[in-house]
Structure 1
Amino acid sequence: MAIKLTRVEEFALIRLNRPKALNALSFALVRDLARAFDEVAASDARALIITGAGEKAFCAGADIGELGGRTLMEQKRGAELGQATFAML
């Protein structure tokens, strides 16, 4: 999994876990985030904290290196997934 979801008392903690890629948002990471957001929303957590693994970056943004081998339609679906996922916040 590209993220790690844990609980500390009433807090949900999500750690983006791609430090070698500066925690860039791959399609898999965004799908994992959507599932984690659903899980947190269904829980009794009172707050959500999102961090990034490693010491260089919280999150570099979209993983544009992943777009090269994808069709325009796949890229569009990925962008829509990202928008829908972050709208959950």
Structure 2
Amino acid sequence: MNTKPVSEVAGEALRDPTKPLFYRAAKAKRQTFNLQATYVRADGSSAIINGRHINRGQTIAGWTLTRVERNRVVLTSAGETRVLNLRNKVISGG
């Protein structure tokens, strides 16, 4: 016997009668990151993101810090890549 679920009558999905007519599910809010500083060193680079000190290879909110440069970092998660840039003026010591 070939039966379809009630939600697929005549090949069409049925609308949930308990939801308002113009209901739209909320989109997942994208995680925001604030890059505050970078530390590029031979013995291990790190960054300050959202007030937290993160070493290369560590994660923050499910994103892994994969690359640290003088004025930007690269985060990866589930095949996605995000680049964060320092917004403040870079000050070099010397």
TM-score range for the pair, normalised by the shorter chain length: under 0.3
Structure with greater proportional strand content:
2
Structure with greater proportional helix content:
1
Q: Which has the larger radius of gyration?
A: 2
TM-score when normalising by structure 1: 0.21
TM-score when normalising by structure 2: 0.20
